């Protein structure tokens, strides 16, 4: 008795069911695939041995896991099918839904499919651990509602949670998203080999061809053996007149078998023949018997079959069955021989059997393949929301939710926007999205880049963190501007203005690739320094205001785009001891209003049309009447009736105002009080707040003049 080395599989089990194992110095991990897809690919290889792997991928787009879920990205799948190795990303099927009723209705993440080989109970435990460790916020309850129909895990969220952010964190921190390393190693001709998709299918076809050939040879041997017996029975039925007396007169079964096979050594010893014809003598009968049996030439097998023949098989009906069976056997023999003698027919047998399996057991794909890459960026884990960015004169930065600043009326007492330390004070405050970049410009014309979400969050009274700890900024350099940027495109420009009135405009795309240690944004003259930087679209007008209350307005087109390291051109001709304090871009609409704010908290609105449009490098016109009472000009920027402004003082007082409450006056007016100043305090910075995308909460405090 022999033991088979392998079993005769009828389809590529190695791919359909997958395989995983480890040995000394090697391991294999083949994912499961869809039966119908693998059979279609196998048939394609049989019909076209020169088919490419790219064409096979059209039949087999990727693994098909019994737990469904998703596969993100096709590149690694194709790599595994071409090279035999790859790492695919699996992700659970989860959706954001509303659960509960009425007032108790809330958002929830509902998980209905999980990655292959992931234990559901372990997944729930992992999520609970992360919530307990406070690494995963916004989750109020976890419920397992799974049943025989399928998996259903409900993760209820807190009312203030952002569902998409929580879902992204679940993908990032839990096995809801996991990798599956593919190593397609198999034993081929007794040796382990790394195979690609086509090589595995070719190895199976070679194996299956051998199985079908051996099976056909075995069936042919059985058919020939049966045909041999039927031929003997058929001849015996025609010679019953001699065979029946022969068997009746034999003294034993062995003797009867010997006579049937032509061994007549003991035939002369029989003196009386039972059943012999009466008209023949014993000698004549024996002579005729020897002659007749010799012509039939029964083999041992046929002789044994004749001896085993039942008498009922001698009826006419049974005799016809023997003849019919013989004819059928002969047809089968012809078919089997043609299969063995024709390679094309043998391959067609394999194809037909594969198609039969697909018809009986094939099903639809369970795992969906998504083209998008699955790698989550850190931005996917952070809500895209507006925050207030605060930068101090000493280079400390923080981000705070805009809603933390309570809206007030004009002349209110304000609130702390950041605790000053020593001579430090808040110099810049603006809003940005957590998904934006911040371009950080220094007085020597260098620029650095950092993501907004990388800035530490702090409350309204916190000082923040030193910028030198976030970017490689020298402690000797002074921070002059921080700009939020979402995309670096060619149709957007960066305009830089120096303290001595030099203007430079460059395409924003030139600053897309900023090194960790920064790059030069503008070449600065000796004794000059970069003062102000802003973004334009190329169609605006540039407005430059000086410390002594002068201002100039000219078309942006007058400043042609320059290279990244160029010096720039003159924007305004300054008086002696005067210098630029602020610059911005304004629209061509002359009804636009400019808000000017002085050191002592005075401010006024003036229509931009009252500033005569000049050519670049002019001396400008009066912007604001500066006196000892008002102090010098601190900031000037365009506003509208919906604008809000935050004003910051040297002692870190902060007030948030609606600009439509500020009086409109002429260019030479000194303005009205916007914020009451303490002795020794002065306004250091003012900034517009964009409230269109963020809802201001809290009680409105009404200040008194």
What pLDDT was estimated at residue 143? 93
Q: Domain check: are 153 and 112 in the same one?
A: yes
Q: What is the CATH number of the domain that holds 52?
A: 3.90.199.10
Could you read off the pLDDT of 547-574 as tens digits, one per residue?
888 999 999 989 989 988 788 999 999 8
For the cut 90, the answer to whether the pLDDT of residue 372 exceeds it is no
- Tell me the pLDDT tens digit for each residue of 204-259: 999 999 999 999 999 999 999 999 998 888 888 777 777 888 888 888 888 888 88
Angle (nearest 5°) at CA 539 between 535 and 544: 60
Do 56 and 193 fall into the same domain?
A: yes
Q: Backbone phi, then psi, for 345, in 5-degree steps? A: -65, -35
How many CB atoms within 10 Å of residue 120?
A: 14
369 within domain boundaries:
no
Whether 2 is covered by a domain: the verdict is no
Split at pLDDT 50, 70, 90, the class of 289 is: confident
* CATH (domain of 356): 1.10.268.10
CATH code for the domain in which residue 103 is found: 3.30.1360.40
CA dihedral 305, 306, 309, 314 (to 10 degrees): 140
Per-residue pLDDT tens for 588-635?
A: 888 888 889 998 999 999 988 899 899 999 988 988 888 888 888 888
Q: Are residues 53 and 80 in the same domain?
A: yes
* Residues contacting 644, CB < 8 A, separation 6+: 407, 656, 657, 658, 659, 688, 689, 691
Average pLDDT over residues 89-95: 90
Q: Are residues 168 and 189 in the same domain?
A: no
pLDDT of residue 702: 25
Residues 6+ apart with CB under 8 A from 48: none
pLDDT at position 699 is: 30
On whether both 683 and 539 belong to a single domain, the answer is yes
In a domain, 703, yes or no: no
Task: Categorize the per-residue pLDDT at 481 as very low, low, confident or very high, splitting at 50, 70 and 90.
Answer: confident
Residue 379 placed within a domain: no
- What is d(CA 76, CA 87) in angstroms, rounded to the nearest whole number? 6
pTM for the whole thing?
0.56
Domain count, the chain: 4
Residue of 517 and 174 predicted with greater confidence: 174
Classify residue 597: in a domain, yes or no: yes
* H helix or E strand, kind and range, residue 287: helix 282-296
Q: Are residue 589 and residue 683 in the same domain, yes or no?
A: yes
SS3 state at 321:
helix
Same domain, 71 and 124: no
In a shared domain, residues 188 and 169: no
Which of 174, 196, 221 is a domain's end point? 174
Instruction: List the CATH number of the domain containing 619.
Output: 2.120.10.90
Is residue 702 in a domain? no
Q: Are residues 412 and 557 in the same domain?
A: yes
Residue 289 lies in a domain: yes
- Do 345 and 459 share a domain, yes or no? no
Reported as a single tens digit per residue, the pLDDT across 405-457 is: 655 555 454 555 555 455 565 667 778 888 888 888 888 899 998 888 778 77
Q: What is the domain range of residue 315?
A: 213-361
The answer on 107 and 60 residing in a single domain is no
pLDDT average, residue stretch 18-25: 88
Q: Looking at the domain assignment, is residue 624 inside a domain? A: yes
Q: Verify that 496 and 599 share a domain, yes or no.
A: yes
8 Å CB contact between 314 and 240: yes
Q: What is the largest CA-CA distance in the chain?
A: 162
Q: What is the DSSP letter of 457?
A: B
């Amino acid at each position: 008795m022999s033991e088979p080395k392998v079993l005769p599989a009828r389809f590529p089990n190695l791919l359909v069911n997958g395989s995983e194992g480890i040995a000394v110095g090697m391991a294999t991990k083949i994912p499961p695939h869809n039966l119908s897809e693998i059979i279609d690919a196998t048939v394609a290889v049989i019909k076209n041995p020169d088919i490419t792997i790219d064409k096979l991928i059209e039949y087999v787009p990727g693994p098909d896991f019994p737990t469904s879920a998703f596969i993100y990205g096709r590149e690694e799948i194709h790599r595994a099918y071409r090279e035999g190795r790859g790492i695919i990303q699996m992700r659970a099927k989860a959706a954001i839904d509303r659960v509960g009723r009425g007032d108790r209705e809330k958002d929830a993440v509902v998980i209905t499919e999980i990655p292959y080989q992931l234990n559901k109970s372990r997944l729930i435990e992992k999520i609970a651990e992360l919530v307990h460790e406070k690494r995963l916020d916004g989750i109020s309850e976890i419920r397992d509602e799974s049943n025989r129909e399928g998996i259903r895990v409900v993760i209820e969220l807190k009312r203030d949670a952002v569902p998409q952010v929580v879902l992204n964190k679940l993908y990032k921190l839990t096995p809801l998203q996991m990798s599956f390393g593919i190593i397609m190693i198999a034993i081929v001709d007794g040796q382990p080999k790394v195979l690609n998709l086509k090589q595995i299918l070719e190895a199976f076809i070679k194996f299956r061809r051998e199985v079908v050939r051996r099976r056909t040879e075995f069936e042919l041997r059985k058919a020939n053996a049966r045909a041999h017996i039927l031929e003997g029975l058929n001849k015996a039925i025609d010679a019953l007149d001699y065979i029946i007396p022969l068997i009746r007169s034999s003294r034993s079964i062995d003797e009867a078998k010997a006579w049937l096979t032509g061994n007549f050594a003991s035939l002369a010893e029989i003196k009386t023949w039972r059943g012999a014809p009466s008209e023949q003598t014993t000698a004549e009968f024996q002579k005729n018997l020897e002659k007749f049996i010799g012509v039939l030439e029964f083999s041992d097998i046929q002789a044994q079959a004749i001896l085993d023949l039942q008498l009922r098989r001698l009826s006419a009906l049974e005799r016809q069955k023997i003849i019919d069976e013989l004819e059928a056997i002969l047809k089968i023999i012809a078919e089997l021989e043609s299969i063995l003698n024709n390679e094309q027919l043998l391959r067609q047998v394999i194809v037909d059997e594969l198609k039969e399996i697909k018809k009986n057991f094939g099903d639809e794909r369970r795992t969906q393949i998504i083209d998008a890459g699955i790698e989550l960026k850190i931005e996917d884990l952070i809500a895209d929301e507006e925050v207030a960015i605060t930068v101090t004169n000493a280079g400390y930065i923080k981000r705070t939710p805009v809603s933390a600043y309570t809206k007030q009326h004009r002349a209110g007492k304000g609130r702390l926007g950041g605790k000053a330390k020593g001579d430090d004070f808040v110099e810049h405050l603006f809003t940005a999205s957590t998904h934006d970049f911040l371009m950080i410009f220094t007085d020597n014309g260098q620029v650095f880049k950092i993501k907004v979400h990388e800035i530490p969050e702090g409350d309204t009274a916190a000082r923040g963190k030193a910028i030198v700890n976030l970017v490689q900024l020298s402690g000797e350099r002074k921070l002059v501007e921080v700009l939020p940027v979402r995309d670096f495109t060619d149709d957007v420009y960066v305009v830089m203005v120096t303290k001595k009135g030099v203007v430079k405009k460059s395409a924003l795309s030139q600053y897309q690739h900023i090194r960790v240690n920064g790059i030069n944004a503008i070449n600065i003259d000796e004794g000059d320094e970069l003062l102000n930087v802003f973004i334009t679209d190329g169609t605006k007008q540039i407005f430059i205001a000086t410390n002594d209350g002068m201002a100039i307005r000219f078309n942006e087109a007058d400043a042609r785009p320059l290279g990244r390291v160029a010096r720039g051109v003159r924007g305004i001709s300054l008086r002696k001891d005067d210098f630029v304090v602020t610059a911005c871009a304004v629209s061509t609409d002359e009804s636009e209003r400019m808000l000017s704010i002085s050191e002592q908290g005075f401010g006024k609105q003036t229509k931009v049309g009252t500033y005569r449009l000049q050519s670049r490098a002019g001396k400008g016109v009066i912007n604001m009447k500066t006196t000892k009472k008002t102090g010098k000009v601190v900031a000037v920027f365009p506003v509208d009736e919906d604008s809000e402004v935050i004003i910051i003082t040297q002692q870190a007082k902060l007030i948030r105002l609606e600009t439509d409450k500020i009086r409109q006056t002429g260019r030479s007016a000194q303005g009205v009080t916007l914020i009451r100043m303490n002795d020794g305090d002065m306004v250091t910075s003012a900034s517009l707040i964009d409230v269109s995308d963020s809802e201001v909460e809290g009680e409105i405090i009404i200040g008194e003049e």
